[in-house]
Copies of this chain bind each other. A is one copy, B any other.
Amino acid sequence: MTEVKTKVFRKAEILEQAARLFLERGFKSTSVRDIAAAVGIEASSLYSHIKSKEDILVLLCDACAERYTGVLSKIMATPGQTGIDQLKQILSFHIDNAFQDPTSSTVFSDEWKNLPSERIEKFLIDRKEYENKWQAVIQDCIRQGSIREGEPAVIMHTLISSVRWIHHTKRKFTDKEQKSAKETILSMLFDGLAKR
């Protein structure tokens, strides 16, 4: 029993350290020896827990895609909300997530490109599903007349991109600064930077 528990734990530890290193240096610049050293074992010992270096990225990407799509589904399924409420909630989630879980943000937005080619296809399908949800909400907003016209894809990419600096910043934000940054970003994007 203890043995099994330890093994699951070790695997989680490997995934966590790998994700941290992928954020700091990127997948290609992180060697299996780096990951092993971060966990405190020899490189060859990693292979009792994972199949390959790429397998780590596959596991991380799958977990992210599932989680992100799940959050969007949940927001969209909550009754009694306008489209623009939903759009704000989706963006809020991305901002909070980038501050609190920067490693998953980097995997989902940058490092997936290093997936083995057979796996990229599958990931792109998952991401398409996620993007379709975004665009469905944006379409709703346009139809309801609550946001200005524009190609949904362009609006989506601009919104998603606009928070992509957060997970890469080295600056430490206090909770108060995070809240303040979030308000600034949301008001820029929804109410506009220009005063009227």
Chain A residues with a Cβ under 8 A of chain B: 26, 28-29, 84, 87, 113-114, 145-148, 150-151, 154-155, 157-166, 169, 180-181, 184-185, 187-195
Contact = CB atoms under 8 A, between A and B. Distances in A.
B188 A158 contact: yes
B165 A160 contact: yes
A144 B85 CA distance: 32
Contacts of A194: 84, 146-148, 190-191
B188 A189 contact: yes
Give how many copies assemble into the complex: 2
Nearest to A149: B184
A185 B165 CA distance: 17
B163 A151 contact: no
A187 B189 CA distance: 10
A165 B157 contact: yes
Contact of A28 (B28, B160, B187): B28
B184 A150 contact: yes
Contact of A151 (B28, B184, B195): B184
Contacts of A163: 158, 161
Interface centre among A145, A151, A188 (most CB of B within 10 A): A188
A174 to B, nearest CB: 13
Contacts of A113: 26
A185 B154 contact: yes
Given A26-B28, A113-B26, A161-B163, A195 B146 contact: yes
13 contacts: A147-B193, A147-B195, A148-B187, A148-B194, A151-B181, A155-B188, A157-B166, A158-B184, A161-B165, A190-B192, A190-B193, A191-B192, A192-B193
